[in-house]
Amino acid sequence: MAAVDFKEFNRKMDKTLEILQDDFGAIRAGRANARVLDRITVEYYGVDTPIGQVGTISSPDARTLVIQPWDGSLLKSIEKAIQISDLGINPQNDGRIIRLVFPQLTEERRRELVKQVKKYGEDAKVAVRNIRRDAMDYIKKLKKDSEITEDDQKNAEKDLQDLTDKYIKKVDEACGVKEKELMEL
């Protein structure tokens, strides 16, 4: 019996889950998360540099981020960069550090974010199903080229469906965890 190798399709489904987690990381859940600063840059010696590369970012509690630049002269630049970003948080500068306090989310905003999570989840499921379709075409081609028997084809299709179901379940679980996180704050 020739076993059909699903490593490539498995890897693609893993990548789909990684992308979903990245999408979830960008959703501001009312909790302090340093990843929200990833896109914000400051001019440092003439070069636009991400905030994370010009100082230390820490989170003393669930709703606060503290930025401590290694070069004190950057405080004003960092403060200004955060103010003009789409973060929607007003930085507090005490002359040594910059403090960002994330406000509690409103019920309406949480529901909007949950809808966004569901959309990301649905997009990930569609991607997994597209990968499954490609794998099915691969199995049918192997059968057509007489590289596997009809029994091997049936077994491979069943294994592929099991793999797909496993990844769809992982997507649902990831969405459930993110929704719970958004609604519990």
Q: What is the mean pLDDT of residues 90-95?
A: 89
- Taking only the tens place, the pLDDT of each residue in 61-85 is 888 889 999 988 888 888 888 888 7
Second CATH level (architecture) for the domain 7-26+106-184 = Orthogonal Bundle (1.10)
Task: For 115, list phi and psi in degrees, rounded to 5.
Answer: -60, -40
| Tens-digit pLDDT profile for residues 160-182 | 999 999 999 999 999 999 998 88
Confidence of residue 86 (pLDDT cuts 50, 70, 90): low
| 7-26+106-184 and 34-101 agree in CATH topology | no
Q: What is the mean pLDDT of the chain?
A: 87
Nearest of 2, 42, 36 to residue 156 by alpha carbon: 2
20-29, 46-55, 103-112, 127-136: segment of lowest average pLDDT: 20-29
Write down the domain spans for the chain. Answer: 7-26+106-184, 34-101
Q: Check: pTM over 0.85? Answer yes or no.
A: no
**pLDDT (tens digit per residue) in 116-164:** 899 999 999 999 999 999 999 999 999 999 899 999 999 999 999 999 9
User: What integer pLDDT is reported at residue 49 of this predicted model?
Assistant: 87
Q: Which fold has domain 34-101?
A: Gyrase A; domain 2 (3.30.1360)
